[in-house]
Structure 1
Amino acid sequence: MTNLACLALLLATLAACWGQPAYAASLGDLDPVFAPPVTYGVGQHVRAVCMSDLDGDDVLDIVTVCWVDSAFWVLLGNGDGTFAPAVRYPIAGSPYSGDVGDVNGDWIPDVVTSSLDTDYVSVSLGIGDGTFGAPTIISVPELPWFVVLGDLNGDLALDMIVSTPSPAWDLAILMGNGDGTFQAPVHLTMTQYPKTLTLLRLDGDDDLDLIVVHPGADGFSVLLGNGDGTFLAPFFYGIGDYPLEAGLGDIDHDGDYDIAVTCSDDGTVAVLRGSAYGTFAPPVYYPVGNWPQDVVIEDFDRDGHADLCVANNGGWTISLLRGNGDGTFQVSEEYDAECCPHTLAPGNFDGDLDLDLFVGNSEDDFSSVLINLATSPATGPETGFAGGP
């Protein structure tokens, strides 16, 4: 993919936002799950949101990766559902994705970002008080799109995978040395251009597996890990038009990962039930809002069943599809998200038992927090999975 094509894709996403009015949720007789959004200034055009306890106070903090601002921003949580004013950390280029993890073995979260118009990723080491040092640069192939961290070979050092749609459809795998540095990238060529990446254990062993979403090929690939930093050949699953993001969780209480993928051109989310072998059943499609971007699987209404939450970038709403516990979902409920929701990050921000929602907006210079209002006690086991190692 050329630089011009990548820019065209980003502009198409922004164009879906312009001129769209926000509208209120229509819930019928249902109790609302989320309160109206509260906005925070976090820089322009949020492309990724990461969560971690950055300052050691046992409260979730937020990192937003902002494309236009050439920076990531940090919001330290207060533990009551509010956040301190955001602090900006400059990054060269136009950062498009990021991840948080301890890359140098000091038990303090660090931030890794990829800049789409460069040939490197940036590593910013955490100080331990919620602040970060100056970024160091790690060379990768041209146009690093998405970056994810995980221990691929069981040596307790975080490794890195970067998707690079140009000049070749590559995944760059960089093994971590455990001191904040990484080895030279090993290239894994895909047959379709790769975008978003998810690392998790799909098939019941201790090795991290990889899910790669391919927007231009209308599908996603599963690469089972060998436990040494390499992967088996990808297995491709075709789904709806122009998939963008994947969410993982157990939607049918069988203990296996299931997957939901947003199909942006269709205005749907594709749901595929998983098996213990890392394979997936054919997709079932659920209508959501206009130009869906991100999707997460968690039990938001505390009934013991996993739900779907979808960011509708073109409709300025969040869709909530309540799970029935058997792998199916109810009709979508719509919640106001202010402007152009792009990325979702669920977490307990106010210290109760409910999952709140941080919404990164791809337009304007603010993002939103939706506090969970659910009061029903959970009636079943934990239903969502946390991605990564």
Structure 2
Amino acid sequence: MWRLVAAVVVCVGLSGCVVYLNPLCTDAISNGTETDVDCGGGCNRCEIGDSCQVDADCEDSTCERGKCTALPCFNGETTEDETDIDCGGPACRTCSGGRHCEVGADCASGICQPEINTCAGLALSFTDATYPAGNKPYSLATVDIDGDGDIDLLSAEEINSQLWVLSNDGTGSFQNVAMLSTGTFPTGSGVGDFNGDGVPDVVTADYRGDSISVFANVGGTLSPRVAYPTVAGGETSNVALGDLNGDGNLDVAATNQSRASVSLFFGAVDGTFGPAVDIPVGLTGASHPYSAAIADFNGDGRNDLAIADTQSLTIIVRLGNGDGTLQPEVAYPTRGSGDLSVITDDVNGDGRPDLICANRQSNNVSVLLGRGDGTFRRPVLSTTRAETGPYTVATADFNNDGVLDLVTGNYKTEMPAAISNSSVLLGIGNGNFEAPRVLEGFPSYGVAVGDFNADGKPDFAAANFANQTVTIQINTSP
């Protein structure tokens, strides 16, 4: 019996020809019409630094002298009509404060200081205050719990296994108004409307309790927890919220780092959840899924799941089928280490969800830009500064230039009186970030953002595990 076998013949000058049988775009070698490993030609476009033959081989770049080269406005240089690196002029983004300018239109603030040709708004400034937040506060969440229009703060504290509710008086000042029992050692939290009544409810991940705790919001007050077990010995570390089975109700994905699994809880219309559906992550015994994020990565209207694996140093993506089941894993290296916190947001403003991961051991943040088809580009690394140990990460536009920025909660095993509490990284708009602005203070785990004093500027909070407080950073930037 004859069988057709796909083949590609590549001939180079007088050197002869090579026949490739069944060349694939996923075989980790450069073959067929590819210009580099698994990219170019008939495969996905290549990234910056890869070999190419024509511009069509390159993604968001041009082919120059056989290499994919970054476009102007994204190449880390001051080129053509730019007034500073990758900003200013008629074609690039506006420049942030302190960058060189010629006219006001070059600046995000709209003000080019004439005598020094520098964009106004140089100072990114915060005023801090601390409040009690329980014994070893771990995870933070921001939401208007009591319905008064002010953003309140939730602190999941580990030692006493409690959820603290800190009410905001509208000026950015907080007072503890409730302490609710969680499962043992809560290390993660999330907020969402589980029963469709228009008010936010709360869920915690209970690390030693191998469970999640759900708190229904009744009239602005959280009810006692309802516990849902995950898996014995799982050390359930974090939660992510989203509708995974397409029924219109929020579901919960809980990561079990010591059992190499994620527990899926499918929500009902009344705010209750079914029993855990446990799905494996990576290789059993060789995977430590610590956190997760949910979004529609391929634009098909169905939510997908991303998982940060601290063991393989990858973000594992599983596309959703819309019925609660997931497609096979695809692992994306982060090029960092200690990958603890993964979130999703649109960092480069192209309408496609990206992945952001805080890497505690390598003191940086990985950004994997989404292509919109469920795949992600190679990670771009931005430092949070040496010896900061970023534990968690959140997004906000702190300098109001229309580009998302990052803030990390910084952990450090050595604890002098004053060390890095958090790092703020201003976004450039292409997945890269400017040098970090490091705020000193006690080491922190969780970080959360919100406009605490209703002035239109995002503020943030950091959970200081070493001195049982939360630091509120009010954004006082011009």
Matched, 1:197 2:288: no
Secondary structure, aligned partner of 2:461: strand
Matched, 1:60 2:151: yes
Deviations for 1:330-353, whole angstroms, at most 9, x for unmatched residues?
1112122x2112111111111111
TM-score for the superposition, normalised by structure 2: 0.68
Match of 2:397 in 1: 299
* Residues 99, 148 of structure 1: 8 Å contact kept: yes
Matched, 1:269 2:365: yes
* Residues 294, 344 of structure 2: 8 Å contact kept: no
1:197 deviates by: 1.1
Match of 1:49 in 2: 140
1:214 deviates by: 0.7
Unpaired segments of 5 or more residues in structure 2? 1-97, 100-117, 413-418
Question: For residue 332 of structure 2, what is the amino acid of its counterpart?
Answer: Y
Structure 1 CA distance, aligned partners of 2:348 and 2:254?
A: 31
Secondary structure, aligned partner of 1:304: coil
Matched, 1:37 2:128: yes
Matched, 1:256 2:352: yes
Equivalenced residues, count: 346
The structure 2 residue matched to 1:320, chosen from 418, 421, 424, is 424
Secondary structure, aligned partner of 1:195: strand
Structure 2 CA distance, aligned partners of 1:69 and 1:59?
A: 27
Question: For residue 225 of structure 2, what is the amino acid of its counterpart?
Answer: P
For residues 1-389 of structure 1, what are the structure 2 equivalents within 5 Å? 31-129=122-220, 131-142=221-232, 143-166=235-258, 168-191=259-282, 192-239=287-334, 240-289=336-385, 290-314=388-412, 315-336=419-440, 338-375=441-478
1:357 deviates by: 0.6
Give runs of ≥4 in structure 1 deviating > 4 Å: 27-30
Structure 2 CA distance, aligned partners of 1:250 and 1:111?
A: 25
* Residues 302, 374 of structure 1: 8 Å contact kept: no
Secondary structure, aligned partner of 2:317: strand
Structure 2 CA distance, aligned partners of 1:144 and 1:320?
A: 28
Match of 1:9 in 2: none
1:247 deviates by: 3.4
Question: For residue 144 of structure 1, what is the amino acid of its counterpart?
Answer: T
Secondary structure, aligned partner of 1:104: coil
TM-score for the superposition, normalised by structure 1: 0.83
Match of 2:27 in 1: none
Structure 2 CA distance, aligned partners of 1:76 and 1:236?
A: 40
The structure-2 alpha-carbon separation of the partners of 1:224 and 1:97, relative to structure 1 and needing over 3 Å to count, comes to same
* Residues 66, 72 of structure 1: 8 Å contact kept: yes
The structure-2 alpha-carbon separation of the partners of 1:53 and 1:295, relative to structure 1 and needing over 3 Å to count, comes to same
Whichever of the two has the greater Rg, that structure is 2
Structure number with greater CO (CA < 8 Å, separation at least 6) is 1
Question: For residue 467 of structure 2, what is the amino acid of its counterpart?
Answer: D
Secondary structure, aligned partner of 2:290: coil
Unpaired segments of 5 or more residues in structure 1? 1-26, 376-389
* Residues 424, 436 of structure 2: 8 Å contact kept: yes
Secondary structure, aligned partner of 1:371: strand
The structure-2 alpha-carbon separation of the partners of 1:311 and 1:229, relative to structure 1 and needing over 3 Å to count, comes to same
Question: For residue 180 of structure 1, what is the amino acid of its counterpart?
Answer: G
